Chain A
Amino acid sequence: MNVGVVVFPGSNCDRDMFHVLSDVFNLNAQYCWHDKPLPDNLDAVILPGGFSYGDRLRAGVIAANSPIIQDVKKIAQKGLPILGVCNGFQILVESGLLPGVLLKNDSLNFMCEWTNLIVENNKTPFTNQFELNQKIPIPIANGEGRYYVDDETLNKLEEKNQIVFKYDQVVNGSLNQIAGVCNEDGNVVGMMPHPERAVESEINPQDNKPSTLIFESLLKKAGIEN
Chain B
Amino acid sequence: MSLESRELEELKTKIGRDPTSTELQIVAAEWSEHCSYKSSKKHLKMLPMDGPLVINEKGYDSGVLDVGDGYVVTAHIESHNHPSAVEPYGGAATGVGGVIRDILSAGTRPIALLDGLRFGNIENDQHAKWLFKNAVTGIADYGNCLGIPTVGGEVEFDECYKNYAMVDVAAIGFGKKENLIKNHAKKGDLVVLLGGATGRDGIGGSQFASDSLETEDRSAVQIPDPFIEKLIIEAILEARNEQLIHAMKDLGGGGLSCAVSETADALDIGIEMDVDKVHTRESDMHSDEIMISESQERMLIVTDNEKLIKLQKICEKFRIECSVIGHVTFDNKMHVKKGETSIANISTDIVANATLLDLPSSKPVYLENIESTKQFPQLSDYSETMMKLLGSPNIASKIWVYGQYDHEVGIRTVTKPGHDASVLRLDNGKSLSIKIDGNPKQCYINPREGAIGCFEEACRNVVCTGAKPIGMLDHLQFGNPNDPEIFWTFLESLKGLTDFAKDFEIPCVGGKVSLYNETSDGPIKPTPVIGVIGLIDKKPLRIQKINSGDSLIMIGATKDELGGSEYSEYIHKFVGGKCPAVDFEESKKNMNSVLEIIENELIKSAHDCSKGGLAIAISELCMTNQIGCNISLEKIPGENLDSDKILFSESHSRYLITFENKNLQKLEEVLKKYNVSYSLIGEFIGNSIQFSNDSKPIIDLSVDKAQKTWFNSLREMVLRA
Contact = CB atoms under 8 A, between A and B. Distances in A.
Interface in A189-225: 194, 196-197, 200, 202-203, 205
B230 A141 contact: no
A37 to B, nearest CB: 16
Nearest to A201: B542
A33 B408 CA distance: 24
Contacts of A113: 403
B140 A110 contact: yes
A202 B425 contact: yes
Contacts of B406: 110, 112, 141
A54 interface: yes
Contacts of A12: 145-147, 230, 409
B145 A197 contact: no
Nearest to A205: B416
Interface string A1-35: 00000000110110110011000000000000100
A111 B230 contact: no
Given A16-B409, A112-B407, A139-B408, A51 B145 contact: yes
Is the interface on chain B under 10, 10 to 19, 20 to 34, or 35 or more residues? 20 to 34
Given A110-B406, A112-B407, A197-B411, A10 B227 contact: yes
A148 interface: no
A99 interface: no
A78 interface: no
A18 to B, nearest CB: 11
B318 interface: yes
Nearest to A139: B408
B144 interface: yes
Given A51-B230, A110-B144, A203 B404 contact: no
Nearest to B319: A9
The listed residue with most B CB atoms (<10 A of its CB), out of A15, A51, A55, is A51
A112 B227 contact: no
A109 interface: yes
A99 B414 CA distance: 35
B547 to A, nearest CB: 16
Nearest to B399: A113
A155 to B, nearest CB: 34
B37 interface: no
Interface string B3-42: 0000000000000000000000000000000000000000
Interface in B141-162: 141, 144-147
Interface in B237-294: none
B231 interface: yes
B374 to A, nearest CB: 42
Contact of A194 (B140, B404, B408, B414): B408
B188 interface: no
B401 to A, nearest CB: 10
A55 B411 contact: no
B408 A197 contact: yes
Interface in B403-437: 403-414, 416, 425
A111 B412 contact: no
B412 A203 contact: yes
B226 interface: yes
Contacts of B416: 205
Nearest to A35: B317
B411 A112 contact: no
B470 to A, nearest CB: 21
B447 to A, nearest CB: 37
Interface string B115-151: 0000000000000000000000100110011110000
Nearest to B136: A109
The listed residue with most A CB atoms (<10 A of its CB), out of B147, B410, B412, is B147
Given A51-B230, A53-B227, A111 B147 contact: no
Contacts of B145: 10, 12, 51, 54-55
Contacts of A20: 411
A139 B406 CA distance: 10
Interface string A172-187: 0000000000000000
The listed residue with most B CB atoms (<10 A of its CB), out of A10, A13, A53, A139, is A10
A113 B407 CA distance: 9
Contact of B404 (A50, A51, A112, A202): A112
Interface string B199-237: 000000000000000000000000001110011000000
A18 B397 CA distance: 35
B483 to A, nearest CB: 41
B227 A203 contact: no
Contacts of A10: 145, 227, 230-231
Contacts of B227: 9-10, 51, 53-54, 56
A9 B318 contact: yes
Nearest to B405: A112
Contact of B408 (A9, A51, A112, A143): A112
B411 A54 contact: no
Contacts of B230: 9-10, 12, 51, 54
Contacts of B141: 110
Nearest to A51: B145
Nearest to B543: A205
Contacts of A13: 147, 409
15 contacts: A12-B146, A20-B411, A51-B147, A54-B145, A54-B225, A109-B140, A109-B404, A110-B404, A112-B407, A141-B409, A143-B144, A197-B409, A203-B411, A203-B414, A205-B416
Interface of B: 137, 140-141, 144-147, 225-227, 230-231, 317-319, 402-414, 416, 425
Given A9-B318, A16-B411, A203-B414, 14 more contacts: A13-B147, A13-B409, A16-B410, A49-B409, A51-B227, A54-B226, A109-B403, A110-B141, A110-B405, A111-B404, A141-B406, A194-B408, A197-B409, A203-B412
